Amino acid sequence: MLLTGILFSCVNDLESIEKVTYDPKAANEVTKNLHVFYTDSGYARVEIFAALAETFSKPEAVTKLKDGIKVNFFSPNGTVVSTLTALYGEINNSRGTIFVRDSVQLVNYEKQQRLKTEALFWNQKDSLIYTTSSVVVRSPKGVLFGEGIRTKQDFSYYEFLMPSGNFLMEK
């Protein structure tokens, strides 16, 4: 009789357990040392590294990349043409955008140019990178400053919204 009482008194009610363990603000998935390739027709187009990734499904499908993020952009022949780095990033899977902030840099290796800013957006659908924050672009031809920039992910072409600075122009 004592054994029967013990067995029936140890019933775990799912609602009671959720009240103790469930946190609606907690991530659905947590990944350490994230390394993801985005491909098109079997060819690498984008490679993302992050020290810590937290994926949330509600209210929107968002992945928060913490403790450093690095994004390599590939040319059609498979070489890395540019790299984006930042301390923090958010991938909005619903919209197809990535937002990065804190010590943001975009480097084009072929043109030896480096963009520095504090925050920018990358639209995965059209490969456009943009910001309205203060921007500095350094290259062998000079240093340009401005408020806001629009560029492609390979950083081969860029357009300042409000530029300033000295730059060596070719004929």
Question: 26-167 adopts what CATH topology?
Answer: lipopolysaccharide transport protein A fold (2.60.450)
State how far the Cα of 169 lies from the Cα of 171, in Å rounded to an integer: 7
| pLDDT for res 91 | 93
Delimit the domains of the chain by residue range.
26-167
CB atoms within 10 A of CB 139: 15
Q: What are the pLDDT digits (tens) for 45-83?
A: 899 999 999 999 888 889 999 999 999 999 988 899 999
Between CA 171 and CA 165 the distance in angstroms is 19
Question: What is the per-residue pLDDT for 141?
Answer: 85
Tokens of 45: 């187009």
- Residue-level pLDDT at 8: 57
60 touches 84 (CB < 8 A): no
Q: How confident is the model at residue 157 (pLDDT cuts 50, 70, 90)?
A: confident
For position 11, what pLDDT does the model report?
A: 57
